[in-house]
Amino acid sequence: MADSSFDIVSKIDHQEADNALNQTLKEVGHRFDFKGTGATIAWSGGQKAIEIKANSEERANAVLEVFKEKLIKRGLSLKILDADEPKLSGKEYRLVVTLKEGIDQEHAKKISKIIRDEGPKGVKAQIQGEELRVSSKKRDELQEVIALLKGKDLEIALQFSNYR
């Protein structure tokens, strides 16, 4: 019998992220505490980053918090966000939030080490670019690996795909 396998990936559902951004923009436009603050949120760099502008550092952080709430409601992990500190640019504060997608080599090695050390013995993990392929002869062992990784507190959001 052939090995069963699945892929560990870190992808962003860009449609859901876009919906969360649009909902945030709408809420910022309607909320009383944002009136007259010039608070805006928009994509920058072709859906790789988000730029938040406001007239104070607190307002910029408040817009970020609203955006985080919308992401959570849409089922996206906050681990995809990498927010800088608000920086003064002219008369307004700018806050750049980059979206993390893909598993870098450092995290891939860390995940494969966790699988090797704590996972079932018959499981193999291979790094393939920005994802990992996990394979085993027994499907139950693959389920154990998924449960193991879900229980770990890693700095990146993980999804499990191509389960065969």
| Residue 100: other Cβ atoms inside 10 A | 18
What are 159's strand-pairing partners?
9
pTM of the model as a whole: 0.86
**pLDDT tens track for 106-157:** 999 999 999 999 988 989 999 998 999 999 998 899 999 999 999 988 889 8
Instruction: Say yes or no to pLDDT of 1 above 60.
Output: no
Q: 122-139 burial string, b = 16+ CB within 10 Å, else e?
A: ebebeeeeebbebbbeee
pLDDT at 2: 66
Instruction: Say yes or no to pLDDT of 162 above 90.
Output: no
pLDDT at 37: 85
Instruction: Say yes or no to pLDDT of 105 above 80.
Output: yes
**pLDDT tens track for 19-70:** 999 999 999 999 999 888 889 999 998 888 999 999 999 999 999 999 999 9
- Band of residue 14 on the pLDDT scale cut at 50, 70, 90: very high
Alpha helices in 14-151, H assignment, sequence order: 14-30, 57-73, 105-118, 139-151
Instruction: Say yes or no to pLDDT of 78 above 60.
Output: yes
| Residue 25: other Cβ atoms inside 10 A | 18
> Do the beta carbons of residue 95 and residue 83 sit within 8 Å?
yes
